[in-house]
A = this chain, B = another copy of it.
Amino acid sequence: MARINENYLKLPGSYLFAEIARRVAKFKNENPEADIIRLGIGDVTRPLAPAVIESLHKAVDEMGQAATFRGYGPEQGYEFLIEKIIEGDYAPRGVKLDVEEVFVSDGSKSDVGNIQEIFGIDNIVAITDPVYPVYLDSNVMAGRTGEYKNGRFEKIVYLPCNAENNFVPALPKEKVDMIYLCVPNNPTGTTLSKAELKKWVDYARENDAIIFFDSAYEAYIQEPDIPHSIYEIEGAKEVAIEFRSFSKTAGFTGTRCAYTVVPKTVMASTAAGEKYPLNKLWNRRQTTKFNGVPYIVQRGAEAVYSPEGQKQIREIIQYYMTNAKIIREGLESVGLQVFGGVNAPYIWLKTPHNLDSWAFFDKLLTEAHIVGTPGSGFGPSGEGYFRLTAFGSRENTERAIERIKTRLKL
């Protein structure tokens, strides 16, 4: 008799966005005239850069001619793209990578979800809290956790990030093996300095742990001295796997291209204590269970690295970061405590009067007709916080802040 993977039954259900939709629908039903502004959206809204569009068209034409048609490409991605990634994203920061250390994929969600497959089931997983749910859920599904009790999974080490510790997670007291770090952070919009990140690299080296470094938002970093890549930290190439994406960097959320860096020097152990390169395991995983990114899309991603492409995507990022500034300053002007939004498109606010996250959601919706995301949806330490994002249009962002200033009863 075929049996299911019962680990799936431990998952409490992806309740967050369904519940948001339910509450918004109810409000709209009762207030049909309300003009709701959505600042909860974690998705880009600006169109693809002209340089990318041009490159996509050219690649489509190639696919229509026998002489230039492309069938299966390398599962790891085309070298034309990998070389641009290394030259464009790493060489300028003094990070040297081999083409075999970069794996192009259809998205960081796939990669951060799949990476745990190459690890044993008994590893102890640490996540920051609040957190992007995929890190946790993929490990639940694989069986690396116990049951879900009181908002937490047994066996998982939660690393709280809140105003009290300035959103800098403390090193775990217990020994952990797999550590997920998202910098700049989703959902808090905060980041880590080189010195703070170095503590994690040192911990991983001392404890033979692996760091999964999700830097999907690195292009939003505005301040100097904030590391864009974990490989800027000495020793990181022994312990860290880095995830990057074109989703937020170049508006590829609906176009799908990302990449994962697995240096050949990152090792984990067999039960017998032998070191084994993770690059080889990830290559085997990808060549067995993945067939590469569309040629057309890889040509689109390549265009991001052209001088025009770079200029165009920087303008789009600046557009969003101006929104972030408007939101941040607007919220501060009415006395709210605000985090993030300086090096990331996310603004994380402390709810006023110790309201819980859902109570503030209802308040913002009913008083200002604005939809955001309750912080508690990202983990127990998100309770009492609330996420707004800079991905809306300028007009809606400005209107939303005007409403918060004039309609929200604080």
Contacts and interface: CB of A to CB of B under 8 A. Distances in A.
Given A9-B270, A47-B65, A69-B47, A292 B256 contact: yes
A396 interface: no
A201 to B, nearest CB: 14
A100 to B, nearest CB: 15
A63 B47 contact: yes
Interface stretch (A113-121, A155-163, A187-195, A339-347): A113-121
Interface stretch (A21-29, A87-95, A281-289, A371-379): A281-289
A47 B66 contact: yes
B8 A284 contact: yes
Contact of A69 (B5, B45, B293): B45
A270 B4 contact: yes
A177 interface: yes
- Copies per assembly: 2
Given A4-B269, A208-B2, A254-B73, A56 B48 contact: no
A46 interface: yes
A134 B60 CA distance: 29
A321 interface: no
Nearest to A120: B3
Interface in A237-288: 251, 253-256, 268-271, 276, 278, 281, 284-285, 287-288
Contacts of A69: 45-48, 251, 254
Contacts of A70: 254
A127 interface: no
Contacts of A5: 117-121, 281
Interface string A59-77: 0110111100111110000
Contact of A53 (B64, B122, B137): B64
B60 A290 contact: no
A118 B4 contact: yes
B44 A71 contact: yes
